[in-house]
Chain A
Amino acid sequence: MSAPTYDLGKLHGGLRLPSNKAQSTSRAIQQVPVPQQIILPLTQHVGDQAHPIVSIGEKVLKGQLVAEAQGSLSAPVHASTSGRVIAIEPWPVSRRFGEPAPCIIIECDGADKSIDNSLGIVPYELLSPDELLVQILRGGIVGLGGAVFPTAQKLMQAITTPLNYLILNGVECESYISCDDMLLREYADEVLEGALILMHALQVPKCYIAIESDKPEALGRIAEALGEIADDRLVLKQVPTIYPSGGEDQLVQLVTNLEVPSGGLPTDVGCVVQNVGTAVAIHRWMNKGEPLISRITTVTGDGIATPMNVSARIGTTIEDVIKFTGGYTERAQQLVIGGPMTGKSVITDNVPLVKATNCILVLAAPVSSGDELACIRCGECAEVCPIQLLPQQLYWHQCSDNEKQLRAHGLIDCIECGCCDLVCPSHIPLTADFRQAKARMLELADEKARAERARIRFESRNERLESEQRQRDIELAGQKATAKAVGPKAIQDILKRTENKDEE
């Protein structure tokens, strides 16, 4: 049994948040039954929308591909149960705060009959890394930590650089969320199986499994499972419970003491970070032929009667999930998909559970921080910023819309963790402001590019028109010259001809 190691890098700033996890971890993971109808959004990942390949009225089986990846960054979608496609139309989704986006809607037949994927299963050790990545792409697997970046593309990008470490992220630093904790407790062996597949795909010599110090049970279960497989390439790392230590770049710094450069990726320092849930999804796809059709999610908050972790099919509505856990309490006020710091407030519970849904949080009263006051330049925000930005400077420049200064102060590197918001004594919604400023910055860049293209087209058109005009002028001058040269003679010729005619 390998003991947790403590030689860690340092993280700047961060906060100790109230964990609020105990409510949902007292029960084992419960299975939500297959609902009457499932809604599968075509975009459950970062990148291009998947392209539906089923038609309305078609019968589909559990695990069947219903929408394929399209473009260079995309992920396919699979049916999460058997049934009949009844519509492909917009439906409210959590990604857009409850506004509609294109979805495939399947009426379930209750049989839950699986498609036979067993023929496609090849022992992963026999595949080359490239073949393995292509296989992972087909499984519809995306990063389950919340960012939902298509896993295959992340790995494909990663293997182009020399790598030293694979880091499995079991650090769930945000309050309330406990789905990775429960997954580690109940599926520790599957996490390690997934880790071995990932190590083979990336050809890395070392894998760290990072878990927070406030999860003794998960730490114990992983240590036990590590003892069973006795592979010294896998090492358990216990990291301190500080928000946002589970952020990708922050975790790399904590575990390896290497800092990811500004605007860079963990691969720049030889690391690849994968969520523990993603590892399990990869194991299930590669070893059992089951694509990503269900996930574990935490249902919690003061507005939930019995907080717990559930395993639900992708496409089950949040309403059905909450009903299964025992419904709302009277105090339920606000529905948030994701954690209290980075989650999205959603206007309806009719949205489907998607690959990104790690937490369904129902809060009692909207989190109000009091009235916004003027910045007093206390500097608290700079102290807690995990990437050592200067939020108060960013705030000033954001107020005056000074794009140059925002760029110079590294706005693009802001991970929107919300630490500065929490400590601000003037209750300035800094993160929301930064998010807006970032969007504005992208918009401006886009507009500039458009204007530049229009300018080039306008100028090349003018050039073309001018050269055409010059050409015409030259031709006209030529014609005039010939007319001038032959003109008098031609007239005389004509006169002569008519004279001759008269004489005849």
Chain B
Amino acid sequence: MRESLTMSNSIVAAVSIITGIALIAGLLLSFAYKRMPADKDSLVEKVNQLLPQTQCAQCGYPGCRPYARAIIENNEGTNLCPPGGQETADKLSGLLGRETLTLAQVESSLMHQSVARIDEALCIGCTYCRAACPVDAITGAHQFMHTIIASECTGCELCLPPCPVDCITMESAA
């Protein structure tokens, strides 16, 4: 009789200790969750690292970092980057633990392998393309011939539409 009493005592003690620990840990965790939200900026940075940095805006955002921010903050799809292709889409969903999506647009794998070239004989020096270039890879003053700094061009094609004389063409980067 006495033996079973001490045993039930020790069981009660064990259960209460474990419950106590669980309670404290739970409180701590919920506190941490409330007070220390996930660092969104570093997550944006991580996503941005995976993007190809062509700054082509084909995703609908004005550059790679804005798209990265939209993925994290507005839950934007991970499949909107044509230059990155399916590979980048897969990597993004892998990083964020989201469902894998197939690429929303046709993959333009050649994009980051091509560079723009200005036909300098036709250029009228309007500076419209210079303003459109997301990486400052076009140089030239108003009413003077412009040229592309080929080593910095990402092949985003954003300089093509503004040109009033259609003197910009895309060429293979090789």
Contact = CB atoms under 8 A, between A and B. Distances in A.
A452 interface: yes
Given A451-B53, A452-B53, A462-B63, A457 B136 contact: yes
A461 B136 CA distance: 7
A459 interface: yes
B134 A458 contact: yes
Contacts of A452: 53
B54 A454 contact: yes
Contact of B152 (A447, A454, A462): A454
Contact of A457 (B48, B51, B65, B137): B137
Contact of B55 (A450, A458, A460): A458
Contacts of A450: 53, 112, 154
A270 to B, nearest CB: 40
A462 B63 CA distance: 10
Given A447-B112, A453-B152, A458 B52 contact: no
Contacts of B55: 454, 458
A458 B137 contact: no
A469 to B, nearest CB: 14
A472 interface: no
Interface residues on A, range: 10 to 19
By DSSP majority rule, is chain A's interface helix, strand, loop, or mixed?
A: helix
B126 interface: no
A454 B136 contact: no
A331 interface: no
B64 interface: yes
A458 B112 contact: no
B70 interface: no
Contact of A461 (B54, B134, B154): B134
A457 B135 CA distance: 5
A56 B53 CA distance: 45
B109 to A, nearest CB: 12
Interface in B48-69: 48, 51-55, 63-65
B65 A458 contact: yes
Nearest to B52: A451
Nearest to A462: B63
B58 to A, nearest CB: 15
Nearest to B62: A462
Interface in B134-156: 134-137, 152, 154
Interface string A439-480: 000000001001111110111111000000000000000000
Contacts of A453: 152
A454 B65 contact: no
Interface in B83-132: 112
Contacts of A460: 136
A48 B135 CA distance: 29
B173 to A, nearest CB: 10
A480 to B, nearest CB: 26
A18 B137 CA distance: 58
Chain B CB within 10 A, most for which of A450, A453, A455: A455
Contacts of A451: 51-53
A458 B152 CA distance: 11
A455 B64 contact: yes
Contacts of B112: 447, 450
A481 to B, nearest CB: 30
Contacts of A462: 63
- Kindly name the residue among A452, A454, A455, A459 whose own CB sees the greatest number of chain B CB atoms within 10 A: A454
Interface of B: 48, 51-55, 63-65, 112, 134-137, 152, 154
18 contacts: A447-B112, A450-B154, A451-B51, A451-B53, A453-B152, A454-B54, A454-B55, A454-B135, A454-B152, A454-B154, A455-B53, A457-B137, A458-B53, A458-B55, A459-B65, A460-B136, A461-B134, A461-B135
Interface of A: 447, 450-455, 457-462
Given A451-B52, A452-B53, A455-B65, 4 more contacts: A447-B52, A458-B135, A461-B134, A461-B136
List 3 A-B pairs, minimum CB-CB distance, nearest first.
Answer: A451-B53, A457-B135, A454-B53
